[in-house]
A = this chain, B = another copy of it.
Amino acid sequence: MLAREVWLLGSQSGSAPQTSTRESTLLSPILARSRRSAVDNFPFVQVDELDLRLDDSAASFEEMHFELVSTDLMSRARRGRLETAHGTIDTPVFMPVGTQGTVKATTPSELSEVGAQVILGNTYHLFLRPGLDVIRECGGLHRFMGWNRPILTDSGGFQVFSLSKLRRITEEGVHFNSHIDGAPCFLSPEVSMQIQDTLGSDIFMAFDECPPYPCERAYAEASLERTLRWAHRCRGWTEKQLQGKPRLVFGIVQGGVYRELREKSALGLVNLDFDGYAIGGVSVGEPEAEMMRAIDNSEPFLPKDKPRYAMGLGTPPQLVEMVARGVDMFDCVLPTRLARNGTAFTAAGTINLKNAEHKTDQRPITEGCACSTCQSFSRAYIRHLIKAEEILGLRLITIHNLHFYLHLMRQIRDALEAGTFPEFRERFVANYARYEPDAETP
């Protein structure tokens, strides 16, 4: 509670009136010289002369960059590398979701074992609980949770709009009530950046409004314009406050299902020269075709030398299709959330281990799978654990599902390096049955 109150004070009486001041920092030399056009820098980030003139601390920040290793000839798929303060991320990458300072039911060493390179932390959740005083005193999120690889933090925007009650959006930010105890809270671009800074995030996300689906054009446009102004303020805050700190900041493209709005949003963000670009407002209940269209309507306007991140997606074939559309980064709760319902991912689609057909099945979830679950436990045993509501059951499926997602991304990267991505894509998507999360027979 204390943490929240401190931030409330900080943002309402402190940050808010300074907005215009902060916006002026957007014209600072650092930002101006780091602006590059998308075309100039393709296919590799160029270390230009201006970078060499930065001081040491700023240089360490500038050293971090995205490198395109190879691109697919038949699609927009890319194999890349993103440098962060906590290590290099090979892309395309899947980021397990660590909502409350833990990827549900797993330890950091288990995450390393299944091949996680980077995880996502939730600004909204960690802001409310344990609160920033705790995280700060414990030395940041990496140290708090014992994870020493990269962390990307979201902006809190999505949760404010999906979880909290009684929210009120103003130009300044969003007033809302905590979904935990109803306490009044406030998030703004500056507060979101401050929180992500306190968390010690490697990759900050700009504070955005994520409109619902469906959403009328007029609202979508007004919302994305506000999100652009908020992105401006985020960029202002980070340029000033993160000078020399090895942090990356990503903008978020909004615009709903409207092609021109996606373009407008993307171009507006690119003008602010973020370190990467997310495509938001997807996975909010829209049909898969709309989701793909949102990517198709945004991606062409994003610089090729910066990573692209599709937020909150998706099923395994969706990931493959998004990679083919030029997306480099993904996060999704499906592998961990479905595990808790007894659902496991396989190359032929999901299976629900509660089903009677697995009752005495002594095979692992997937023959030949290298995960620790498939090395040691049968479908029959896992089914028993899930039916008996034993925690070990969801633990074992969580490990398998995360391994499946992370292994899929490894396969994609290998195929891109080998120049065989088109074949891999066709084969994988054809093999994978349509995703049916609710399929369960007695």
Contacts and interface: CB of A to CB of B under 8 A. Distances in A.
Contacts of A360: 133-134, 137-138
Taken together, the copies of this chain in the complex come to: 2
Interface in A53-110: 100-102, 104-109
A390 interface: yes
A380 B136 CA distance: 12
A393 to B, nearest CB: 8
B144 A381 contact: yes
A102 B394 contact: no
A295 to B, nearest CB: 32
Nearest to A101: B384
A388 interface: yes
Contacts of A129: 384, 387-388
A403 interface: no
A362 B139 CA distance: 10
Nearest to A384: B130
A407 interface: no
Interface in A303-359: 359
Given A107-B392, A387-B129, A395-B391, A138 B100 contact: no
Query: Interface size for chain A: under 10, 10 to 19, 20 to 34, or 35 or more residues?
Result: 35 or more
Nearest to A106: B392
A30 interface: no
Q: Which of A377, A390, A392 has the most CB of B within 10 A?
A: A392
Interface of A: 100-102, 104-109, 129-130, 133-134, 137-139, 144-146, 359-360, 362, 376-378, 380-381, 383-385, 387-388, 390-392, 394-396
For the complex of A and B, 4 pairs with smallest distance between CB atoms? A130-B384, A105-B391, A137-B360, A102-B392
14 contacts: A100-B384, A101-B388, A102-B390, A102-B392, A107-B376, A107-B395, A107-B396, A130-B387, A133-B360, A134-B359, A138-B378, A139-B362, A146-B377, A391-B395
Given A130-B380, A134-B384, 12 more contacts: A104-B390, A104-B392, A129-B384, A129-B388, A130-B359, A130-B387, A137-B360, A138-B380, A138-B381, A144-B378, A144-B380, A395-B395
